[in-house]
Structures are given as C-alpha cells and as structure tokens.
Amino acid sequence: MKIGVLALQGGFIEHEQALQKLGISFFEIRKLSDVQQPMDALILPGGESTVMGQLLHETKLFSPLKTMIDEGLPVWGTCAGMILLAKTIEDEQTRYFGRIPIAVKRNAFGRQLGSFHTTGVLTGIGEIPMTFIRAPFITESEKDVQILASIQGYGVAATYRNVLVTSFHPELTEDLQVLRYFLDLL
C-alpha cells in the first residue's frame, strides 16, 4: 500500500508521521511528475484551503488529481482538505474538487483563538480525541453522505463513496484510529 500526501502547504508532515507509525509507505505530492507514481489513496491535509487551491492550479496538479479522485481514488481530507473536497463552500462561489455533496462553513468554530480540543464519537470507531483549528463544519449534506461525527449539532466527519472528510485533525493526536479507519476503507 502506498499513500500520496499533498505537500504543497499545511500539516502534511503530521500525516506522514502517523503513516510512519503504522509502517505505511507514502510519498509527497509537490509537482506534476509526483502524481505519475502509483498510489492507493490520497491525503489532503489541513492548512489554508485558498492557498492550497491556488498552489494546486499553479503546479498543474489540480486537473490530474481531480480526475483521479473523480475516478475513485480513495481520498481523506482533513480541515482544509474537507473544504477542497466539498461541493459547496458557504458564502463563496469558489469550488475545488467538489467530490463530496456537502456544504461547509469555513472557520465555523471561530478564528485561531476559537481552536479547541475535545472528545467525540465517530461512527465505526467510538470515542476519539478531536482537535479543531479554525475548523469548518458541515451545514448541509445529500442523503447518500454518511455523517460520522457531530459536535455542537454540526457534522464534523463524513464519508461518501471514495471520500472521507474530517474537520478536526486526528494527525495532531497520538490516536491513530481515524487513520486506520481510512486505511480499512481501502
């Protein structure tokens, strides 16, 4: 098994460290030639989604990654990755990969000072630690989307076909259950 990790900006190193702990092979995606390597799945890390979107286009990575995701490559997006994968971003015309039919609200729990850590229940796993940093949440979802976790009444994790999204950062904790959950989906 080999996982591609988008490494243009954001918290990609923490995802790589989590993969290393499980002995999972990975490589960084920084330039167009990187997507020519075979991969079993893709991780879109947290960070700044607007910057990531710009960099995806500047590096010409957007189109090939979109095609791969649309054709069924399993993908997990955390925080900014969730925004990149969402069909709709509230109060914005911007749309990136648009693969999971959800609407998300950016910085829904507040700005940097509104960041927090809690525990919550994720369907299929149970109670897990959740770290939210300027996190989005799901405001709407189509019926085929499975909401896996909610906080304060809002969806913070979901799955749909080949996509897993979390608005929190499992990679910032020692708990590897969400990563294992994603790998089990493969």
CA distance to 12, 35, 128, 153, 163, per residue, from 144 (Å) = 29, 29, 24, 19, 12
Write out residues in the chain with pLDDT < 50, as ranges: none
| pLDDT for 114 | 64
The pLDDT score that the predictor gives to residue 125 is 97
How far from chain centre, in Å, is Cα 10? 12
Contact 49, 86 (CB under 8 A): no
- 171 annotated active-site: yes
Tally of domains within the chain: 1
Q: Is 50 exposed, middle or buried (0-12, 13-18, 19+ CB in 10 A)?
A: middle
Parent domain of 167: 2-185
Q: Active-site residue 28, yes or no?
A: no
Q: List the CATH number of the domain containing 94.
A: 3.40.50.880
| DSSP letters spanning 42-98 | EEE-SS-HHHHHHHHHHTT-HHHHHHHHHTT--EEEETHHHHHHEEEETT----SS-
> What's the CA gap between 181 and 183, in Å, rounded?
5
Catalytic residue among 71, 117, 171, 174: 171
Cα separation, 44 vs 84, in Å, equals 8
* Catalytic residue from among 16, 127, 169, 174: 169
* Predicted model pTM: 0.96
- 48, 57, 79, 92: which one is catalytic? 79
- pLDDT the model gives residue 115: 87
| Tokens representing residue 8 in the block | 């243009």
Eight-state DSSP code of residue 20: H
CA distance 34 to 78: 21
Cβ atoms of 117 and 174 within 8 Å: the answer is no
Would you state the pLDDT for residue 39?
Answer: 97
Q: Is 58 a catalytic residue?
A: no
CA 30 to chain centre: 17
Instruction: Bin 49: left if φ > 0, else alpha if -120 < ψ < 50, else beta.
Output: alpha
